[in-house]
Chains A and B, each alone.
Chain A
Amino acid sequence: MQLKKKGDSAQIGGINQFMVTLKWTSAMDFDLCAVYETRDGKEGIVYYADQGDLNSFPHMQLSDDEGVGDTGGDNQEDLRVMNLAPMNKIYVFCWDYTAVENGSIARFNNSDISVNIIDDNGKQYNCSLDNNNEGNVVCMAEIDNSSPLGARFTNRSSVGKLNGLENLSQLLAVAKGI
């Protein structure tokens, strides 16, 4: 299912495991990153410097870094989530970490970034960036697991500009469009 517009969403139901894939072909060093909120109020991040763990909390793990040194081609980074049950929300980000560190603008608009989710029933959902604003970090998608009806996948396309990353609230503010 394609979620092309900001705000488009799909009910993905009672899934427990899924894989998030960030894809792009342009010669840029983007990274996939995820921020999570658990049902009991914990917050955390999985990114290139802390790739997570499949066997213990947070039961999610990021693949190795791709596109290092602005390499073009079929760049792809994956995040496996093995246990969604304790999570309330997971926000999926794409950033240019160098640009985040020095406050410069990333070239999202010249790229073709998209996020794909494949769940443990084999169903796939895809969302593309629907925002032309300038920035260096974009919250591409949200997986909302707070409803008893099951998880919902939403195209957030929320762009922000950070000048150094000091805490998770900065990323959550981008995700929530604050």
Chain B
Amino acid sequence: MKSFRNIADIRFSPDKSGESQILAKIPGLRDWGSQSDLQDYFKLSLGADSLKVTEELFPREFKIYHEVVQTLGLNKDKHEFYVSGENMRNAYIFSSKDNSQMVMSTELLSLLDDDELRFVIGHEFGHFLCKHSRIPTRLLAEHEEVDDEFKLDLLKWSRCAEISADRYGVLCCGKLDSSLSALFKVAFGMKPKSLSALRSSMRNQYNALSQLAKKRTDDSDLLSSRTHPIIPLRCVAVEVTFMDIQSFKTANSWNKSAISFIDRELLEIIENLI
């Protein structure tokens, strides 16, 4: 399987520019995620509460995880996958400079078929590839000494970072319907009855929200504390960039000018509402 030369290109452009602005304000964050004591602590807690995915214990998950590692051109010796027994649908990745530990709850794993699992694993590796863990959003957003305006910038960036991560999920999954049903299952914990109904329903909700976003009101701030964009926006963002990502997968080139108007529109919604 081939790996990609310019894999960073598919990143949502406002994620990249937002990150630069945040790092410029707090330069010390550049090395935050790579501190070895933090990594040791994380590994210790993983060892205590989670199970490492091995071929013998979780053959399906092991196989798919390693397929994704290969798709993204990562070094398999530097990445680990754990399963946790927590009673919620959850997946996250702790990453440092060149290695990572991914954790997924059994509740989420049991919901996902193979392609959906590829999407979720690809999404988490998207956070690793974009080095999103350099910025501890939740920690800073809850810190008393961080000013409110900067907190809003952080959260806005965090929502942009999720859009980027979804693109890596799509890249690894390779199927639009599976990418959308993965997002649906993570959010709602059930299988969508009809994928075409899901698509049209998400698009209708997105259209209604984008109209609201265009006439921004004080109520808009109600959603500004979210770290993740709302699901209709994520679904539409996946839908409109799916073919670009498939094209990237084949031709290994990303047409920035073609995607720029999509990125502008998504950013407008993220800035004004969600």
Chain A residues in the interface with B (C-beta under 8 A): 16-19, 21, 54-56, 61, 63-64, 66, 74, 76-78, 80, 82, 116, 118-122, 124
Q: From residue A77, how far is it (CB to closest CB) to chain B in Å?
A: 7
Cβ contacts B238-269/A at 8 Å (1 or 0 each) = 01101110110110010101111100000000
- A-B CB pair tally, cutoff 8 Å: 61
| Contact residues, B191-214 vs A (CB, 8 A) | 196, 199, 203, 206-207, 210
CA distance A49 to B111 in the complex (A): 46
Whether the pair A55, B210 counts as a contact (CB closer than 8 A) is yes
Whether B175 is near chain A, meaning CB under 8 Å from some CB there, is: yes
Interface size for B (C-beta < 8 A) is: 26
**A-side contacts of B177, CB under 8 Å:** 120
**Which secondary structure dominates chain B's binding surface?**
helix
A64 to chain B, nearest CB (A): 5
Given known pairs A18-B243, A19-B247, A66-B257, the reply for A120 and B176 (CB within 8 Å) is yes
Q: Report 14 cross-chain contacts, Cβ distance below 8 Å, ordered by A residue.
A: A17-B239, A17-B242, A18-B243, A21-B247, A61-B261, A63-B258, A63-B261, A64-B257, A64-B260, A78-B258, A118-B250, A119-B243, A120-B176, A120-B177
Chain A residues with CB under 8 Å of B229's CB are none
Contact (Cβ within 8 A) B239 A82: yes
* B residues less than 8 Å from A19 (CB atoms): 243-244, 247
A122 and B240: CB pair below 8 A?
no
Which residue of chain B has the shortest Cβ distance to A124 in the bound complex?
A: B250
Check A54 against B240 for contact (C-beta < 8 Å).
Answer: yes
Assess the B210–A122 pair: CB atoms within 8 A: no
Q: When the two chains form their complex, are residues B257 and A120 in contact, meaning their CB atoms are under 8 A apart?
A: no
Q: Which residue of A lies closest to B259 (CB)?
A: A63
Q: Is B174 engaged at the interface, CB distance under 8 Å to the other chain?
A: yes
- Complex CA gap A120/B243 in Å reads 7
> For A76, what are the chain B residues with a Cβ–Cβ distance below 8 Å?
255, 258
- A80→B176 contact, CB < 8 A: no
Are A118 and B243 in contact, CB atoms less than 8 angstroms apart?
Answer: yes
Is A80 in contact with B257, judged by CB distance below 8 angstroms?
A: no
Given A55-B207, A76-B255, A120-B176, answer yes or no on A17-B261 (Cβ-Cβ < 8 Å).
Answer: no
B176 and chain A: residue at smallest CB distance:
A120
- Tell which of A64, A74, A82 touches B261, judged by Cβ atoms closer than 8 Å: A64
9 residue pairs, one from A and one from B, having the closest CB atoms = A19-B243, A63-B258, A78-B258, A122-B246, A120-B176, A118-B243, A64-B257, A76-B255, A118-B246
Residue of A nearest to B249 (CB): A122
B-chain residues with CB within 8 Å of residue A16 when the two chains form the complex: 196, 199
Partner of A63, one of B210, B242, B253, B257: B257
Complex CA gap A64/B262 in Å reads: 11
> How far apart are the CA atoms of A32 and B258 in the complex, in Å?
12
A122–B174 touching, CB < 8 Å: yes
Chain A min CB distance to B247 (Å): 5
> 8 new A-B pairs (CB below 8 Å) besides A54-B240, A118-B243?
A19-B243, A63-B255, A63-B259, A64-B258, A74-B253, A82-B240, A119-B243, A120-B177
